[in-house]
Amino acid sequence: MARLKIPNEWWTAPAESEDGQLILVTGRSGLNDVKATGVFVYRIEVNWAYTPDENGMPDFATSKLMEQVTEALEAEFSKDPVAVNTGIYTGAGERNWVFYTRSLHIFQRKINTILQPFETLPLTFHAEEDPDWEEYAEMSQCEVQSSMDD
């Protein structure tokens, strides 16, 4: 069986929280083949609440740590694609990573291993079935299409 190719193409666009604060939405494009496999049916949201600055963003030290965590997650799941990170939301005092996975149990085991080198992080997790990738479709509407036709 051929190994599933998960694209590493990302975009970032501004959005607003319900109370008008800036949210940076970073989404992964080109995942139609991954979705079409039909095996990534569980959506897991990993949330990190932080003390925001006046713009709702994390301070420098927190944002550096968040980037290290993101890199560790990407490194592991690119080696063993039991889950795919489809989006990252940052702003209004929260960082939220969105994953689609084939197994909640294996994801839990992997995430514990990935996060082991880090200090205890203020993370919460939410999981639900989303076989049609409804959250991904909604997030993808934030992508700004470039018009480079000139």
The CATH number of whichever domain residue 20 belongs to comes to: 3.30.70
Identify whether the C-beta of residue 6 lies closer than 8 Å to the C-beta of residue 81: yes
Domain that holds residue 53: 11-140
Tell me if 4 is assigned to some domain: no
Q: What residues form DSSP beta bridges with 41?
A: none
Tell me if 119 is assigned to some domain: yes
pLDDT reading at 17 higher than 90:
no
> In this prediction, what percent of the chain has a pLDDT beyond 90?
81
Tell me if 145 is assigned to some domain: no
What is the count of structural domains for the chain? 1
> For the CA atoms of the chain, what is the radius of gyration?
16
Instruction: Put residue 93 in one of left, alpha, beta given phi > 0 → left and psi -120 to 50 → alpha.
Output: left
Distances (CA, A) of 72 to 39, 97, 110, 111, 150: 23, 13, 11, 10, 40
Tell me if 79 is assigned to some domain: yes
Tell me if 6 is assigned to some domain: no
Tell me if 2 is assigned to some domain: no
Nearest CA to 33 among 4, 76, 3?
A: 4
Q: Tell me: the pLDDT tens digits for 97-125?
A: 999 999 999 999 999 999 999 999 999 99
